[in-house]
């Protein structure tokens, strides 16, 4: 499948929706999303929709991936240093992150998806991306501190370990449930003077769960 034209069309839509960071645009143009979905869904790979990836989980919509990665990129000069992703899923967003950050650690709690991501990513040979099977609620201390942390699953609150493992000057981008019971995108900046939390638009992510499966 020569997908570069459909991918370019997808990126034009992302730009019309407000995505403008050059590194994010380059990454969204480069990573072949159709390689991360089942063969029956390949035709829909470049539509702005989330798609099932098995185990009741979904690959996020391209505009959600681009929006979250852009929020990370805006927090520091390029390239980002070490980044932690919670929820590898099929590995698509991890591949995007690997193009904007020096080192990416991506944690997945479902063994079958961790294995699927490894299969999807094998041919791409991404030396700066490390896949970890485990519970991302505790972060991944071995790679800390992180310039950026991004979660693809939403819980009631942000685990303290994520904030702890963020570098000073670092940024966390994650969905979290608000006092009104809605799921919102949340940005947490760790500054020398403390934590700054910003609530953004409503989002729909799969639940953050503890333990492994
Ligand atoms: N970024 C992924 C999106 C996958 S959906 C992609 O591009 O495909 C979110 C993923 O988060 C699911 O695979 C789910 O199993 C995982 N998840 C949920 N809670 C988790 C936890 N505590 N630790 C690690 N992964 C978790």
How close is the Cα of 41 to the center of ligand 1, in Å?
20
Query: What CATH number has the domain bearing residue 88?
Result: 3.40.50.150
Residues with CB under 6 A from ligand 1: 53, 57-60, 86-87, 89-90, 92-93, 107-110, 113, 135-137, 152-153, 206, 208-210
Kindly state the average pLDDT of the residues 191-199: 96
In order, the DSSP letters of 32-65 are -GGGGS-GGGGGGTTSSS-EEEETTEEEPPHHHH
The pLDDT score that the predictor gives to residue 181 is: 87
Cα dist from 65 to 168, 198, 201, whole Å: 24, 18, 14
Residue whose CA lies nearest to ligand 1 atom number 4:
89
The pLDDT score that the predictor gives to residue 202 is: 95
Taking only the tens place, the pLDDT of each residue in 24-61 is 999 999 999 999 999 999 999 999 999 999 999 999 99
Q: How many domains does the chain have?
A: 1
Specify if 86 maps to a domain. Answer: yes
CA quadruple 181, 161, 69, 152: dihedral sign: negative
Question: Angle 62-73/22-30 helices, nearest 10 degrees?
Answer: 140
Q: Residue 207 pLDDT more than 80?
A: yes
The pLDDT score that the predictor gives to residue 1 is: 61
Is residue 44 a contact partner of residue 51, using CB atoms and an 8 Å limit? yes
Mutate to test the pocket of ligand 1, among 52, 137, 148, 153 (most ligand atoms within 8 A of CB): 153
**DSSP three-state, residue 212:** coil
> Does 3 participate in catalysis according to the annotation?
no
Helices marked H in 102-154 — which ranges? 111-122
Taking only the tens place, the pLDDT of each residue in 66-114 is 999 999 999 988 889 999 999 999 999 999 999 999 999 999 999 999 9
The pLDDT score that the predictor gives to residue 77 is: 84
- Least confident window among 88-92, 95-99, 140-144, 176-180: 176-180
Residue whose CA lies nearest to ligand 1 atom number 17:
87
Q: Residue 117 pLDDT more than 70?
A: yes
Kindly state the average pLDDT of the residues 141-154: 98
With cut-offs at 50, 70 and 90, classify the pLDDT of residue 127. Answer: very high
Specify if 210 maps to a domain. Answer: no
Residues whose CB falls within 8 Å of the CB of residue 42, separated by 6 or more in sequence, listed in order: 1, 34
User: Which residue, chain included where needed, has tokens 């700054």?
Assistant: 196
The pLDDT score that the predictor gives to residue 28 is: 98
How close is the Cα of 36 to the center of ligand 1, in Å?
14
Give this prediction's pTM: 0.98
Mutate to test the pocket of ligand 1, among 51, 63, 87, 89 (most ligand atoms within 8 A of CB): 87
How close is the Cα of 17 to the center of ligand 1, in Å?
25
Beta strands 146-151; 166-177: pairing state: parallel
Mutate to test the pocket of ligand 1, among 109, 148, 157 (most ligand atoms within 8 A of CB): 109
Q: What is the mean pLDDT of the chain?
A: 96
Specify if 11 maps to a domain. Answer: yes
Cα dist from 195 to 163, 180, 189, whole Å: 9, 22, 6
With cut-offs at 50, 70 and 90, classify the pLDDT of residue 179. Answer: confident
Specify if 211 maps to a domain. Answer: no
How close is the Cα of 189 to the center of ligand 1, in Å?
22
Specify if 213 maps to a domain. Answer: no
Specify if 107 maps to a domain. Answer: yes
| Parent domain of 106 | 3-202
How many whole angstroms separate alpha carbon 212 and alpha carbon 184? 25
Specify if 26 maps to a domain. Answer: yes
How many whole angstroms separate alpha carbon 24 and alpha carbon 19? 8
Specify if 42 maps to a domain. Answer: yes
> Cis omega (within 30 of 0) on the bond before 11?
no
């Amino acid at each position: 499948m020569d997908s570069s034209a459909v991918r370019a069309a997808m990126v034009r839509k992302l730009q019309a929706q407000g995505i403008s960071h050059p590194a994010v645009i380059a990454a969204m143009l480069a990573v072949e999303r159709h390689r991360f979905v089942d063969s029956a869904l390949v035709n829909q790979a470049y539509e702005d929709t989330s798609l099932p990836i098995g185990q009741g989980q979904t690959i996020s919509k391209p505009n959600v991936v681009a929006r979250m990665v852009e929020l990370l990129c805006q927090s520091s000069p390029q390239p980002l240093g070490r980044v932690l992703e919670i929820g590898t899923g099929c590995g698509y967003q991890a591949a995007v992150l690997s193009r904007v950050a020096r080192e990416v650690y991506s944690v997945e709690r479902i063994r079958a998806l961790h294995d699927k991501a490894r299969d999807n990513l094998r041919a791409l040979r991404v030396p700066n991306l490390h896949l970890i099977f485990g519970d991302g609620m505790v972060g991944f201390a071995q790679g800390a501190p992180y310039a950026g942390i991004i979660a693809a699953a939403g819980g009631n609150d942000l685990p303290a370990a994520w904030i702890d493992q963020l570098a000073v000057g670092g940024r966390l981008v994650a969905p979290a449930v608000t006092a009104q019971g809605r799921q919102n995108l949340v940005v947490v900046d760790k500054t020398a003077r403390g934590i700054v939390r910003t609530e953004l638009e409503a989002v729909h992510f799969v639940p953050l769960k503890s333990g492994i499966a």
